[in-house]
Structure 1
Amino acid sequence: LPSKLGNLTSLTILNINGCFNLVSLPNKLSNITSLTILNISGYSSLISLSNELSNLISITILNKNEYLSLTSLLNDLDNLTSLNTLNINKCLSLILLPNKLGNLKSLTTFHISYCKSLISLLYELNNLTSLTTFHINCCKCLSSLPNKLGNFISLTTLKIWRYSSLTSLPNDLNNLTSFTTFDINGYKSLTSLPNEFSNLTSSTTFDINGCKSLISLPNNLDKFTSLTTFDINGCKSLISLPNELNNLKSLTTLNISGYLSLTSLPNELRNLTSLTTLNISRCSSLISLPNELGNLISLSFFNIRGCSSLTSSPKEMINQIFKRYLSK
């Protein structure tokens, strides 16, 4: 790129995309002190970033995508004191994150995905006390989450996808009192969830997908008093739902899918008086549905499919729902 690019001192947004033969960025980019958004992606030949980029102190959003040969990030990343969003995607050769990443006190959103050579997350990440959204996706060499994840006291959304080698979640997640969304996907070796989850009383969305070894859910789920959406999909080793689900008075959406060993639903689900949507699919061992589901007075959408062992339809339930609609 031309070095004179650095003379554009009033530039606020810079997108550099798909320059597959580019081997370096001009050092004078650091002169663009007004830059707030920097998107750099699609570099198969670039192996490092100029440290001068750390002088862009007004940057608030930094996206690094498809850096196929990049092995490390800026050592002085902590100079980006205004940075609030950091996205690192498809940096296939990236092995480590810089230690100073934990000094980004303004960072609120951190996404890292498809960094297949990344071997660990930093202990220093615990210092990111302003972080509200943390998303890790398909970093297959990672074997653990950061220690003291519970220090992310501002965290509202945690998404952990395709983390196939992890077997457990840290117990200190119960410190995340601002937590609203918990989403784990493809956690193939996870066998249980910590009981301390019950302290996350602000949680509104609980999504568990593809955790094939998960054998049980916490018995104290009833303490999730703010929960509105509960979605469990592809957890084929689970054999039952906890009876405590019936105390989730705020629950509006319940999705149960791919629950291969589930044979019945608890009668207590009738107490979910706020439930508007009930989806049941691919529960191949499910034999019957309780007629008590007809007491779900707010239910407006009911979908059941792929439950090949279901021997009869819950006639009483259907009649009750039908009568309610006729009376409206």
Structure 2
Amino acid sequence: MLIGVLVDYAQNFPCLKRMDLSNSKYLVETPDFSETPKLERLDISGCTNLLCVHPSIGLLKKLVFLSLRNCSNLVNINFDRGSNQSSLTVLDFSGCIKLVNTPDFTGAKNLKYLVFDGCSSLSSVHKSIGGLLKLEFFSLRNCKSLVGIPNNINAMKSLQHLDLRGCLKFENLPIGQYSYMWLICLIVLDLSFCNLLEVPVALRKLECLERLNLQGNKFRTIPSIRSLTRLTYLNLSHCHNLETLLDLPPTSDSLGGRYFKTMSGARDDRSGLYVFDCPKLTKWLYMDGVHRNIEHVWLARLIEKPCHFRCGFDIVVPRDFPLWLGHGYIGSSIIRIKNLNVNEDWLGIAFFAGFELNNASKGDIDQFHWCLFDTCEHPVDFDDVTNDMTNPEPKIRLPYNWLVTEKDEVENIEAKTKENNLSNVGL
């Protein structure tokens, strides 16, 4: 009965541009879309009993946005090789837990955002993926049955964000299969918790990369990443077999910070280095004939090029507190900055927090330390206001936007505009 109503509705509105069928719990099959050739936006998300999408969906050449998010009973979808979806920009299959294969993307050459997050039954990606030369965002997060992706992803010259986090059966990444193309625009690569046994040597070719997440994998070493001079985020935590980190990128004049200008929601992400819970890893690097601490090398990059690092800066490594700390507290404390002699040469304030875990439970914190960096030249006055605050959680109270340049403000406005635009199309 519902299908009949939808067909009549479509036939009566041939100029229809938007159709919202989201959360239609009785919808089992979509209508024939040949009666709505001008459709631009189609939302079928949350239709948990949907089993079949009519193949005429491939004929919607003006369709810009298509969401099948959380259609949890959908097994297959066919766009047909002769389809024409030349306007399609956003395609979202996240939460389709029974989806086995991706569709053929041949008719959707202009896709920019493609999401398959949480498609736990997905086993393969159609080889036509390499033809999506305008794709910018591709996420397969938590596709636990996926064993690999086609080698031709290297040809995706516009791809900026590739997320494969939680693809548990993933054993290698086909980077570097083509000598003439190396994902030349990739800014973000997330390979965390993929059970990787080795990191591709060709990773060093991703010279635009700014964020690399390799945490939770099984490799023993990673190849040289000295060429990744724009890198501002590196996560190697929970790599229990990691023994050797050959080097870190040196400081460079390379133009960085693109991530915070181009990616939606980027302003919630911090820059930093995370190398904790790696019991076999030495804390020393042998770079340029000298033994150096991992954190010292990374901190030097921040000091040299602070404009590359946004939204705060973390260094989380297994280490004792630095000897040059000015003040410290033990236990849960709330610290208030009273007087701040801000100098235009300042990069910021360094805070150190140390955690000691009980052997009984990893989640129990035995001791917690707050420490603040202080100098005689530019003193920072602060006091402990723990007893004056109703919320006992440890925190630092800083003036809001205590040091924001005019350039930062312009960038904030541009990033917010892009975020709003993506929100309008469902991202």
CA RMSD of aligned residues (A): 2.6
Cα distance, 1:306 vs. partner? 4.3
Please name the residue that 1:40 is paired with.
Answer: none
The match for 1:83 among 20, 34, 39 is 39
Residues 29 and 53 in structure 2, CA contact (< 8 A), matched pair in contact too:
yes
Please name the residue that 1:309 is paired with.
Answer: 279
Unaligned runs of 5+ in 1: 1-23, 25-45
CA 1:210–1:176 in structure 2 vs 1: closer, same or farther (change >3 Å)?
same
Taking the aligned partners of 2:276 and 2:302, their CA distance within structure 1 comes to 26
Taking the aligned partners of 2:223 and 2:94, their CA distance within structure 1 comes to 34
The match for 1:234 among 173, 190, 193 is 193
Aligned length: 278
CA 1:326–1:173 in structure 2 vs 1: closer, same or farther (change >3 Å)?
closer
Q: Does 1:163 align with 2:135?
A: no
Residues 150 and 174 in structure 1, CA contact (< 8 A), matched pair in contact too:
no
Please name the residue that 1:66 is paired with.
Answer: 23
The Cα offsets for residues 249-288 of structure 1, whole Å up to 9 and x where unpaired, read as 11111122221x1222212x01111112222322222234
Q: Does 1:249 align with 2:207?
A: yes
The match for 1:319 among 296, 301, 304 is 296
Taking the aligned partners of 1:219 and 1:94, their CA distance within structure 2 comes to 36
Cα distance, 1:184 vs. partner? 0.6
Taking the aligned partners of 1:155 and 1:189, their CA distance within structure 2 comes to 24
Q: Does 1:295 align with 2:254?
A: no
The match for 2:145 among 151, 172, 189 is 189
Unaligned runs of 5+ in 2: 257-269, 285-291, 305-344, 346-427
Residues 250 and 301 in structure 2, CA contact (< 8 A), matched pair in contact too:
no
Higher radius of gyration, 1 or 2: 2
The Cα offsets for residues 150-196 of structure 1, whole Å up to 9 and x where unpaired, read as 33111122211222233222222221121222111222222222111
Using the size of structure 1 for normalisation, the TM-score is 0.75
Residues 151 and 175 in structure 1, CA contact (< 8 A), matched pair in contact too:
no
Residues 210 and 234 in structure 1, CA contact (< 8 A), matched pair in contact too:
yes
AA matched with 1:174: G
Please name the residue that 2:70 is paired with.
Answer: 114
Taking the aligned partners of 2:197 and 2:64, their CA distance within structure 1 comes to 38
* Aligned 1:34-73 pairs, distance under 5 A: 49-54=5-10, 55-73=12-30
Overall identity of the aligned pairs, in %: 24
SS in 1 for 2:296: helix
CA 1:128–1:308 in structure 2 vs 1: closer, same or farther (change >3 Å)?
same
Cα distance, 1:319 vs. partner? 3.0
Using the size of structure 2 for normalisation, the TM-score is 0.59
